[in-house]
Structure 1
């Protein structure tokens, strides 16, 4: 699930005296700040303020422009001004996306502040990553943060540390590796190696923290980068220009200097989805969240360096969705629940924080609904009779509203032959389906 996708109002001129207003500046004596983030599907979701409005943004090394998804008319609250219309292009097979470019916005991440930030508000109701992730995401930011600050990402503990480059001091680390970065259009690339059919192949990869997969490779017979016979067709992710599809497989090994990950997941996106990405000279693909999360990483763009060290996630096995269906948050369902305790009230109906009490036995509650949005042809879920649009009510007797979307999806990554009993709501009719998870690789 790949490529995946959401200021200060006081006068800061005194605080920022001597600093450029078109760069991030950290407003404390240490000139360093620690920010907690949410890890969702191997992605980094950070709190961020724009013009005084608090939002949630995806931190993505693979984007050069900060983008706001305007499906909720966020720009009205942000008081976006000085706009011009432009067109953006990203992954996916669709046309370019229309956006409004806005200048001179105030942006704040923790104590890092920038006074003159360009923003791009995208007007596309279908471009909404929140349902696929199960948490609010209002936009994406990348290059503007990384080029101004040294960014440490501690995937294991779930925090960022932002530091002014002139104040950052490298520590000696015997178990670390320092890797040279190359840049194209402000995006970072590294040289790595993949082992396919016992052949070690050098590859140049975009570092894409905005992708949840492990590795994407562009097929190239002349280099030996091919998926072979063991693969299956699948939905890979949602890009700026639409859905991305391709082949899923495994490679024998992925190597970053001395660090080697064996039996790693790989995806080979269809050519029409990556036509423009392949135009970058010598680019062979992307390395994304399911590999990056296994390291704690320091990005130092100004010195073109990346420092990596293994963390507690390094030895996690690579798995994949064995059901063949993808779910997304699809609003809420109204449920009637039995109250376990008697309600002492004068009337038969009373309001509570999470619903309406009916008499002294029942209450109506709003619970999250998860719907099937992708269904792989020939998959166990499809062959069992499940359909796109079905609302998943329970899995193996567990009510899905008691789980996050991430927890529900994780059930489909369990062992081969695991039995699944799925109860769904299909247009008001309740149906039950049974199948086993199927190992394809």
Structure 2
């Protein structure tokens, strides 16, 4: 199996830090998204899988399509369409695009002058990119149809409140005046090249506290990514593991994962959290564009109700019930895929060398029938992934189906960093 087929929960969406490089990337000056009626707000429920927000969006006359909501992406990107999906894109030309990763450019279609619809809002003159090849396989990794990624078109036009606890997204008019939060804190949001940055502090294993500039990225499922070449004071923790961190538009993103002592922003301090350290070759595109030190992902953001206010260049964080939860990650050493969309059919997508899963002989392609006596036919993908993060020392009793045989294995979750 090539690395292109791998999937790592800790860093699903580094590839969403998308930097489109083409002659057609400039947005039209009059493109806009606004409420379709005279209202001040609209509330949208969302799916939350792999720490990622999924919302329904219509492009032109299409049925509702599922998009990952990502503050780190500028343009609407269609990653995969099914044979029943129809977009009727306007003014389409073929281009090449490039983003994070170590590979070559990709071919895509670029389309101007499209419409966008969501519950209560509508947009015109939207730029849309459509990949000719589904390189991300988001649907099988998310356990539901996922068609693409959307971000800046939503955030630039509204005040966006994300309630991770209730799984509701509230869009408010930019001129709505919000009451100061009782338990939250407001921070400056620095908008550069259509991306939002914040300044925070990380405390490393050696006690050094470093001020860092981070892209705020709801499309990254991990907690934190740090770019070592961006600051000579940044250093790897003493205990790290080699990791495949995700897939970029331009290829694989590899690196290391280790724990830092703390991450702090304002009065909020989160301790003992995993950070990923991508290889320099994988992040060269990002390094060439800005002086960022990394990105802030959803494993931190989900511990708050987050209010993004791009129009007024600020962000509010209000702690929720997850605030004090420990930072766990996949401790089993195997990844789960759902290759048959719409069915509760789960299989082992990858096994990490030297992991607990590798030690007990799990193999790619093993169908997972039950975990600790609970049938997988009764579980969602999120339920199954929850088992892999229970904490070090927890045992998983797996019933598997392999080559016409039912097999039983027991593995113990292990903290490798």
Q: TM-score, normalised by structure 1?
A: 0.84
Q: What is the deviation of 1:209? A: 0.3
2:381 pairs with 1:385: no
SS in 1 for 2:324: coil
User: For 1:67 and 1:211, how far apart are their aligned partners in 2?
Assistant: 16
Q: Give, in angstroms, the shift of residue 222 of structure 1.
A: 5.4
1:231 is matched with which residue: 209, 234, 240?
Answer: 240
Structure 2 distance, partners of 1:178, 1:117, is 31
**Partner deviation per Cα, 1:317-373 (whole Å, 9 max, x = no partner):** 1111111111110227xxxxxxxxxxxxxxxxxxxxxxxxxxxxxxxxx95221222
SS in 2 for 1:439: coil
1:327-406 → structure 2 map (5 Å cutoff): 327-331=336-340, 367-406=343-382
In structure 2, relative to structure 1, the CA distance for the partners of 1:213 and 1:304 (3 Å cut) is same
Are the aligned partners of 2:237 and 2:259 in contact in 1 as well (CA < 8 Å)? no
* Change in 2 beyond 3 A, CA 1:238/1:403: farther
Q: Does 1:428 align with 2:404?
A: yes
Corresponding residue number in structure 1 for 2:24? none
Q: Please state whether the residue corresponding to 1:106 is helix, strand or coil.
A: strand
TM-score computed with the length of structure 2 as normaliser: 0.88
1:272 matches 2:248: no
Residue 219 of structure 2 is matched in structure 1 by: 210
User: Secondary structure of the residue that 1:70 maps to in structure 2?
Assistant: coil
CA contact (8 A) 2:230 2:293 kept: no
Aligned length: 393
Choose between structure 1 and 2 for higher RCO, CA contacts under 8 A separated by at least 6 residues.
2
List alignment gaps of at least 5 residues for structure 1.
6-19, 333-365
CA 1:367–1:160: 2 relative to 1, 3 Å = closer
Give 1:424 deviation, angstroms. Answer: 2.2
Q: Deviations over 1:198-238 (max 9, x none)?
A: 11100000111001100011124953322222111223233
Equivalent in 143, 154, 161 of residue 163 of structure 2:
154
Partner of 1:60: 70
Distance 2:310 2:201 in 1: 22
1:195 to 185, 198, 203: 203
Secondary structure at 1:63's aligned position in 2?
A: coil
Deviates more, 1:370-379 or 1:84-93: 84-93
- Do the aligned residues in 1 keep the contact of 2:237 with 2:260 (CA within 8 Å)? no
Pick aligned residue for 2:97 from 88, 112, 115 = 88
SS of structure 1 residue aligned to 2:116: strand
Q: How far apart in 1 are the matches of 2:263 and 2:82?
A: 40
Any stretches of 5+ residues in structure 2 without a counterpart? 1-8, 16-28
Query: Which one has the largest radius of gyration?
Result: 1
Report the counterpart of residue 152 of structure 2 in structure 1. Answer: 143
